[in-house]
Structure formats: structure tokens, C-alpha cells
């Protein structure tokens, strides 16, 4: 399976910022739990509020219905008689005594023949026609209000009816006053409906809360949509929401601090290795003609909080913990990709030195790193040099000798670093078939001083010549030192006089400039020649 550039970018980003992402995830989880809880609470509260409002609306409507029942019951005895002025007067009296009832009427053969509104018998015509299908029903009626529905409640006696009319406008006002933003609906006999629904548009989705009246004559209902739940939560529970956000941020920041908190030096080093915080720097090595012919890889720790940390401060711990092995692999892998892309700027036999610690001489992991490094370059392009320090004693359990033999077979050279400062220089030369000696900078620095023990440098060079070993003079800082060392026919020079350790990209620039200069010089020579 191949990973696209985008996936790589995401993976690298996730690895690089994993602590930050974990902290954000923690905060978001807390926020999700908190808001989830608040939302559930809001649901419960809103549902009980709607229940309460439905109950109040139902009670008020039931009152009106009871009033209508009493009114029609009072009017029922009048059904047997004709519509005299006295009957009409009695209907008016009943209606006036019932504050929520607008009219009381007597109906026969689907026509209103007597009403509390008129003091005479009404004629059969379109205006007085009324069809009564249910005990409670909604209808428009020309006499009472042709433009709006009226709620009628009827009571039957033989083939006649006493009916009371209730203003629907009044019912709507009741629903509005009680419901406020919550839409309430009155449904009669499970069919005809009166709704007050101006704030939220009507929906078929959501939680239905329905309450039947005492005699199942009507139902008060409300459907709570998702929007209503959210609005309720935001308007009533904003303080818990703010608190939840603040707590999530605090937990996030704290989590981040905990994840990033200073650990033991060992843990911190391990974390840095996982986060690829160790970078290779390259210090140029120049030849007798002053041209860059190689470089030494020197490790730097780019710490996210402390900036660049020099190797003296972390190499001993890396050696103790064994992490130096993987750090060396990281250095070689990184430098390999820089040099591979720019190998056309490198002179053949480019001298690339890397430090190895005594602990790395006990197994063949370093050999595998070298093998992988060498395999990508054409033969003879790069001369890899393993620099052995004398700081610690290399125990020759047989493994070190085997490692050096295999490295030699691969074409990797062995250099003895800090020569003369340790306790086993000569023993190592004899034991490990050393190819290069590096004169320690403490000796180089003495060149030019009054009490310079010149015989030390001279003797090292003399020894190297006799054993056919190359010499690198380390720590060259001025022209006097260079001149002195050049007179002794030393092959390689390294020090601040030429350059400090620099990032690989800067080193490549220098190689490119040198390569361009060489090309111009060759072109001039061939023109003149």
C-alpha cells in the first residue's frame, strides 16, 4: 500500500504535534461529555415545561367546555317550545351568565331557529343552516362569524339540539399566553385542530407531548423539534455551557502541560528520539589545497523549548541508555538523503566522518547502517569514516574486531578520534587496524604558543607516516596552525578556521559554490591551454 503525499504530511503533522493534538482531543472529549449532559438536561427540562404548559392550557379549556356544557344543559329544556321572545330572552340570560360563551342557540332539522343574539324566530335559509356531526366541532357560520372558525358544543334532545358557540380567537389567545414560544395545538375528536404556532414552523419530526381532556373531547399537544431543544439549551443553560467550555480549556491546557512536563532525562531523550529532534550538522574537512573534500557529522538536539543543545550535554546519556544507536541511524539516514540528491557537487572519495561510541562496537547494527548508506552511492563516490573516541575504553570481546573487519570489507575506514588524550591510543592502533588518526584540538591549539610541545604533533605525524595512516588535524583555528601543520604534510584539516559545523543545506550550498568555481577554472584552463 502506497501512501500519498497528503497522508504523509498528515502522519508527520500528527507525530510532530501529538501532545498538542492529544490535549485538544482531551478537551474536546470533556466538552462533548459536558455539552451532552447539558443537552440531555435541557431535553428533560423542556419536556416537563411543555407538559406543564399543556396541563394549564387543558385546564383552562376544560373550564370553558364545562361552562358550555352547563349553558347547553340549561338551554335544553327550552328545545320543546317555539322560539318566543321569552325563549330568546332566556337564551340571552344564559349566555350573559357564561363569560366565555358567545351565543346559545336552538337547532331543529339542521337550522338555527332561536338564538341568544335575536329576539325572534329565525327563518330557514343559508345563513341559519348548520350541520352537526359531533358533540364538539369547528365551523364557520354566516350569522355568528363568516370569516373565522367558531367552536360549537352541542347537546341533543330528540331531533333538536342546543348549541353553545365559543370564540376560537379566545382559545388561540389562551394558547398564545400559556405557550409563548412553544406551539400548542388543540385537537377536537382527533380531527379538527386549533393551533397557535407563530414562532416555530410546524414540524412532523420531534418529540410529541399530548394530553387528553377529561372526557377525551379534545387533546392539547405540542411537538418539540431539535431546534427548540437547542434554543432552550442556549437560552436557559448558557451558564453551564460557558462553565463547560472553560473547564474543557483548563483540562486541555493542563493535559498539555502534563504531557509536556519535564520527565526524567532518560524519558526526555527517548521522547526526543521519537520526535526526530536530533539533527545532523556538517563540519567541512579540507585537503592540502584548501578545498572541501569531506565533512564530519556532528549531532545537535533541536529541543522544542530549550533550542539547540550541544552534544556534550546529551551524548553521555545517549550512550548510557543505548539510544545512541538509533540516533546514529537517524544521522546517517538524514545525511544520506542530502548527499544523494546533491552528489554531483561532491568530489569523488568524499570523506564523510561519523562518531561512534564504544557501546556501538558490540554488535553489527552500525555495520547495517553503513551498508544501507553505502549501497545508494556509486562505488568510490563517498568514503565513510567511523570515528572512534578514546573517551571510553572499548572492550574487545571479539565483537569489535568483527565489526571493524566487516566495516573494512565494506570500504568503511576507521579513525581514532582525540588521538593522544585517552589511555589506549597505541593499543587501539595495533588492535583495530586504524586507517586515520585525528590529532586532538588540544594539541593543535598549542601550536604557536610559547611553550608548545611541538614534538607531540611531530611524533604523531611521524608515527602515522610509518604506519601508513592518514592524519586529520582537528581544531585548526588560525593560519599559523594551518601553516605549521601543512609543513608536516598532514592530509586533512578541520576547524573553525575553515568553518564551524553547519546545517546540511548550508553545507550543500558551499559544495555547489566550490563545484561551480572548479568548473569555471577547468574551463579557463582548457581555453588557455
Ligand X SMILES: Nc1nc2c(ncn2[C@@H]2O[C@H](COP(=O)(O)O[C@H]3[C@@H](O)[C@H](n4cnc5c(=O)[nH]c(N)nc54)O[C@@H]3COP(=O)(O)O)[C@@H](O)[C@H]2O)c(=O)[nH]1
Binding site for ligand X (CB under 6 A): 283, 296-299, 310-312, 315, 324, 328, 331, 355-357, 387, 389, 417-418, 441, 474-477, 494-496, 501
| Cβ distance to ligand X smaller for residue 167 or 418 | 418
Task: Output the DSSP codes for 61-112.
Answer: HHHHHHHHHHHHHHHGGGGGS---HHHHHHHHHHHHTSTTEEEEEEEETTEE
Supply the minimum distance, in Å, between the C-beta of residue 498 and ligand X.
8
Are the C-beta atoms of 295 and 352 separated by less than 8 Å? yes
Supply the minimum distance, in Å, between the C-beta of residue 423 and ligand X.
16
Nearest to 388 by CA among 422, 363, 364, 339: 422
β-pair type (207-212, 470-473): unpaired
Supply the minimum distance, in Å, between the C-beta of residue 354 and ligand X.
6
| Cβ distance to ligand X smaller for residue 3 or 310 | 310
Are the C-beta atoms of 219 and 212 separated by less than 8 Å? yes
Supply the minimum distance, in Å, between the C-beta of residue 4 and ligand X.
33
Supply the minimum distance, in Å, between the C-beta of residue 438 and ligand X.
6
| Cβ distance to ligand X smaller for residue 30 or 315 | 315
Nearest to 145 by CA among 119, 173, 168: 168
| Cβ distance to ligand X smaller for residue 252 or 444 | 444
User: Directed axis angle between helix 324-341 and helix 365-374, to 10°?
Assistant: 10
Query: Is 131 in a helix, a strand, or coil?
Result: coil
Query: Is 415 in a helix, a strand, or coil?
Result: strand
| Cβ distance to ligand X smaller for residue 114 or 439 | 439
Q: Report the alpha-carbon distance of residue 423 to residue 436 in Å, rounded.
A: 18
Supply the minimum distance, in Å, between the C-beta of residue 497 and ligand X.
7
Q: How many CB atoms lie within 10 A of CB 262?
A: 8
Supply the minimum distance, in Å, between the C-beta of residue 402 and ligand X.
20
Q: Report the alpha-carbon distance of residue 108 to residue 79 in Å, rounded.
A: 9
Supply the minimum distance, in Å, between the C-beta of residue 324 and ligand X.
6
Query: Is 355 in a helix, a strand, or coil?
Result: strand
| Cβ distance to ligand X smaller for residue 112 or 297 | 297
Supply the minimum distance, in Å, between the C-beta of residue 495 and ligand X.
3
Supply the minimum distance, in Å, between the C-beta of residue 268 and ligand X.
18
Q: Report the alpha-carbon distance of residue 482 to residue 490 in Å, rounded.
A: 10
| Cβ distance to ligand X smaller for residue 20 or 308 | 308
Cα R_g (the chain), whole angstroms: 49
Are the C-beta atoms of 504 and 280 separated by less than 8 Å? yes
DSSP single-letter state for residue 1 = -
Query: Which residues are within 8 A (CB) of 411 and not within 5 positions of it... i.e. 6 or more apart?
Result: 374, 383, 384
| Cβ distance to ligand X smaller for residue 248 or 273 | 273
| Cβ distance to ligand X smaller for residue 255 or 475 | 475
Cell numbers given for 33: 461529555
Are the C-beta atoms of 49 and 274 separated by less than 8 Å? no
| Cβ distance to ligand X smaller for residue 185 or 355 | 355
The 3 state secondary structure assigned to 448-510 is CCCCCCHHHHHHHHHHHHHHCCEEEECCCCCHHHHHHHHHCCCCEECCCCCCCCECHHHHHHH
Amino acid at each position: 500500500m502506497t501512501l500519498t503525499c497528503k497522508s504523509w504530511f498528515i502522519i508527520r503533522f500528527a507525530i510532530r504535534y501529538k501532545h498538542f493534538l492529544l490535549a485538544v482531543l482531551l478537551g474536546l472529549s470533556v466538552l462533548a461529555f459536558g455539552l451532552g449532559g447539558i443537552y440531555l438536561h435541557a431535553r428533560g427540562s423542556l419536556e416537563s415545561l411543555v407538559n406543564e404548559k399543556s396541563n394549564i392550557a387543558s385546564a383552562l379549556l376544560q373550564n370553558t367546555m364545562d361552562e358550555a356544557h352547563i349553558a347547553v344543559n340549561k338551554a335544553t329544556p327550552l328545545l320543546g317550545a317555539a322560539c318566543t321572545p321569552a325563549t330568546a330572552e332566556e337564551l340571552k340570560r344564559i349566555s350573559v351568565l357564561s363569560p366565555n360563551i358567545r351565543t346559545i342557540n336552538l337547532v331543529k332539522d339542521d337550522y338555527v331557529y332561536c338564538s341568544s343574539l335575536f329576539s325572534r324566530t329565525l327563518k330557514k335559509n343559508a345563513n341559519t343552516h348548520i350541520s352537526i356531526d359531533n358533540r364538539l366541532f369547528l365551523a364557520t357560520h354566516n350569522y355568528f362569524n363568516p370569516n373565522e372558525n367558531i367552536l360549537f358544543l352541542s347537546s341533543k334532545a330528540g331531533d333538536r339540539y342546543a348549541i353553545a358557540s365559543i370564540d376560537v380567537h379566545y382559545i388561540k389567545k389562551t394558547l398564545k399566553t400559556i405557550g409563548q414560544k412553544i406551539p400548542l395545538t388543540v385537537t377536537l375528536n382527533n380531527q379538527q385542530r386549533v393551533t397557535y404556532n407563530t414562532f416555530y414552523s410546524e414540524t412532523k419530526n420531534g418529540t410529541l407531548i399530548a394530553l387528553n381532556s377529561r372526557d377525551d373531547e379534545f387533546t392539547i399537544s405540542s411537538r418539540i423539534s431539535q431546534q427548540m431543544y437547542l434554543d432552550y439549551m442556549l437560552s436557559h443553560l448558557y451558564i453551564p455551557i460557558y462553565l463547560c467550555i472553560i473547564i474543557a480549556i483548563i483540562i486541555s491546557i493542563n493535559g498539555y502541560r502534563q504531557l509536556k512536563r519535564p520527565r526524567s532525562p532518560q524519558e526526555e531523550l527517548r521522547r526526543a528520539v521519537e520526535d526526530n529532534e536530533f539533527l545532523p550538522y556538517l563540519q567541512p574537512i579540507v585537503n592540502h589545497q584548501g578545498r572541501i573534500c569531506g565533512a564530519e557529522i556532528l549531532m545537535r538536539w533541536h529541543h522544542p523549548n530549550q533550542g539547540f543543545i550541544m552534544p556534550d550535554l546529551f551524548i553521555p546519556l545517549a550512550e548510557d541508555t543505548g539510544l545512541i544507536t538509533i540516533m546514529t541511524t537517524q544521522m546517517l539516514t538524514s545525511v544520506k538523503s542530502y548527499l544523494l540528491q546533491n552528489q554531483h557537487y561532491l568530489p569523488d572519495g568524499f570523506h564523510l566522518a561519523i562518531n561512534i561510541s564504544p557501546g556501538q562496537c558490540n554488535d553489527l547494527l552500525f555495520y547495517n547502517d553503513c551498508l544501507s548508506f553505502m549501497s545508494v552511492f556509486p562505488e568510490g563516490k563517498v568514503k565513510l569514516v567511523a570515528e572512534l573516541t578514546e573517551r571510553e575504553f572499548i572492550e574487545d570481546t571479539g565483537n569489535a574486531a568483527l565489526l571493524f573487519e566487516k566495516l573494512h570489507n565494506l570500504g568503511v575506514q576507521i579513525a581514532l578520534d582525540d588521538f593522544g588524550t585517552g589511555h589506549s591510543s597505541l593499543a587501539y592502533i595495533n588492535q583495530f587496524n586504524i586507517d586515520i588518526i585525528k590529532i586532538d584540538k588540544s594539541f593543535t591549539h598549542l601550536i604557536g604558543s610559547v611553550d608548545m610541545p611541538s614534538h607531540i604533533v611531530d611524533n604523531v605525524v611521524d608515527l602515522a607516516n610509518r604506519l601508513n595512516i592518514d592524519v586529520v588535524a582537528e581544531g585548526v583555528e588560525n593560519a599559523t596552525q594551518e601553516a605549521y601543520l601543512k609543513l608536516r604534510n598532514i592530509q586533512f584539516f578541520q576547524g573553525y578556521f575553515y568553518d564551524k559545523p553547519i546545517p546540511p543545506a548550508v553545507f550543500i550550498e558551499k559544495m555547489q559554490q566550490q563545484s561551480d568555481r572548479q568548473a569555471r577554472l577547468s574551463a579557463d584552463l582548457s581555453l588557455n591551454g
